[in-house]
Amino acid sequence: MHLAFKKLDQRLSLAEKNNVLVQYLKPIVKANQYRLVKKNTKQWVQIGRKLNADLEGTLNQERERLVQNSSTDLYQFIALIQEIETELNTKAQYSLAHAIDLNARFGKVLVCVVDEDLTSSFDEDGLMIKSTQILFIGDEALKDRFSAIIEKSAGFQSVIAYEDEQHLRIELFRL
């Protein structure tokens, strides 16, 4: 984020980006409160000082690695819902099957997580302990996009619970 604010002022070269990031990371190396990450931070500072090194890219790769290693089922589920909302330009509802407002569409589609209490589907550590369903209502092209998003989700197994021309209800299970 520190680098993003610097980029707003002017376009930065690779060396300038590295310098900004190194200047940001140097106090972390010296601060005692960050002793658990001191070794990694020193390595990043050394990378940033090398000629033609891409410290920003290295830090982004490290962030992705940490997200993959520490993400829980709940985190992955929320990320999946956010991706669906972004890709289909909509907002997801959370409702019981008998209480879904079929007219409450955001954009061209209705997406609803069909669950009485989403927190009951995940334990306190964020692991999925029971399946949950997502209902989609919309045209066939958007239904195909919705289905593709669900299928590329690596964290869950999906089973079609119901499908017709405009409706698709998917049940998600933990892998």
Higher pLDDT, residue 10 or 87: 87
Q: pLDDT value at position 70?
A: 67
Give residue limits of the domains in the chain: 2-70, 73-174
Quick one: average pLDDT of 67-78?
81
High-pLDDT (> 90) share of the chain, %: 44
Mean pLDDT of 46-75: 85
Report the half-sphere exposure of 171 (CA within 13 A, side-chain side): 8
> Is pLDDT of 100 > 90?
no
Find where tokens 């980029």 sit: 7
Angstrom distance (rounded) from CA 74 to CA 90: 20
Q: Is the pLDDT of residue 121 over 80?
A: yes
Average pLDDT, the chain: 87
Highest mean pLDDT among 4-8, 14-18, 132-136, 152-156: 132-136
Rounded average pLDDT over 58-66: 86
Using CB atoms within 10 A of its CB, is residue 111 exposed (0-12), middle (13-18) or buried (19+)? buried
Euclidean distance between CA atoms 132 and 158, whole angstroms: 10
